Amino acid sequence: MMTNARTTGLNRRRLLALAAATIASPFVLTRAAYAVTPSEIKARGKVLIGIQGDNPPWGFVDATGKQDGYDAEISALFAKELGVPAEFTQLAVANRIPALTSGRVDILFATMAMLPERAKAVQFSKPYGANIITFIAPKEFEIKSPADMGKYVIGVARGSVQDSDVTRAAPSGTTIRRFDGDAPTMQALLSGQVQAVGGNIFYVPRLDESKPGYYENKLEFTKLYNGACTRLGEKEINAFANDFIEKIRANGELAKIYQKWMNNPLPAFPDAIPGIPFNVS
């Protein structure tokens, strides 16, 4: 009886250990499966790039179904530097980081504002773009300070920087409605679901296509820089992205693309941003 009990106990422990290994192994295999380096991308024959599909002038799909915009042109140059074609995955604001960390894409050129909290989840490159988060409403609305925001129903893209900025700035009790991306947020404004939105400096030109001269930027919140994103700890692809950005900044290609899409000269980029390393240490 004692021997059987001992044997049964040993077998139970072995079964538990085997079960634990079985549960853990898919995670380990999955992690290994999407670890990526430039040489692995070249061997695969394509680079998987996450990009926005509804956010002109950054990333959008043109009338022919082709991915276009500022991020798309930068992505195409990045793929050319690798020597492989780009395969785009169109992403909404809220699923950009999950698409990267789950291995659906190798890198994000997806209007990713460089924020310290995001730097805990992804590895940023050096900046390659800039933006300003704004509060947008009809010109007739009297909005002089954040205190005036509480009078209106406000729309934001869920999980975006404007979501954070508007939530922080608006008075307690303000009605804030969250939508799945920039395009649905602007559509909510145009259709009357909301009266104002948190957006960026490129919202008004897009809104002008439907209601010329009707909306304006009322308040400015945060000046942002955008970087490419790779997974934490992937040193080689991060270094490749940084070298690529330095190259197109130096040879004038980045300035040319920025002027084309943003109708502004390329801004000066900081050498460092607090809380956001540009390199894998």
Query: CB of 58 within 8 A of CB of 70?
Result: yes
Summarised one tens digit per residue, pLDDT across range 44-87 is 999 999 999 888 999 999 999 999 999 999 999 999 999 999 99
pLDDT 10s per residue in the chain (281 long)?
A: 444 444 444 444 444 444 443 333 333 334 444 668 999 999 999 999 999 988 899 999 999 999 999 999 999 999 999 999 999 999 988 899 999 999 999 999 999 999 999 999 999 999 999 999 999 999 999 999 999 999 999 999 999 999 999 999 999 999 999 999 999 999 999 999 999 999 998 899 999 999 999 999 999 999 999 999 999 999 999 999 999 999 999 999 999 999 999 988 899 999 999 999 999 98
Burial annotation 212-247 (CB, 10 A radius, 16+ → b, else e): eeebbebbebbebbbbbbbbeebebbbbbbbebbee
Query: CB of 155 within 8 A of CB of 196?
Result: yes
Give residue for tokens 């948190």: 198
Measured between alpha carbons, how far is 235 from 280 in angstroms, rounded to an integer? 5
Same domain, 88 and 196: no
Query: CB of 269 within 8 A of CB of 229?
Result: no
How many structural domains compose the chain?
2
Q: Could you count the other beta carbons within 10 Å of the beta carbon of residue 275?
A: 12
Same domain, 66 and 188: no
Summarised one tens digit per residue, pLDDT across range 1-17 is 444 444 444 444 444 44
pLDDT at 275: 97
Same domain, 231 and 243: yes
Same domain, 108 and 163: no
Same domain, 125 and 138: no
The residue range of the domain holding 125 is 38-130+225-262
pLDDT at 35: 60
Summarised one tens digit per residue, pLDDT across range 177-192 is 999 999 999 999 999 9
Same domain, 88 and 116: yes
Instruction: Out of 222, 246, 275, pick the residue that ends a domain.
Output: 222
Measured between alpha carbons, how far is 129 from 134 in angstroms, rounded to an integer? 17
Query: CB of 108 within 8 A of CB of 47?
Result: no
Same domain, 240 and 119: yes
Same domain, 106 and 151: no
Same domain, 183 and 216: yes
Nearest to 58 by CA among 76, 72, 77: 72
CATH number of the domain within which 186 lies? 3.40.190.10
Q: Is residue 18 part of a domain?
A: no
Q: Is residue 281 part of a domain?
A: no
266: exposed, middle or buried (C-beta count within 10 Å: 0-12, 13-18, 19+)?
A: middle
Q: Is residue 30 part of a domain?
A: no
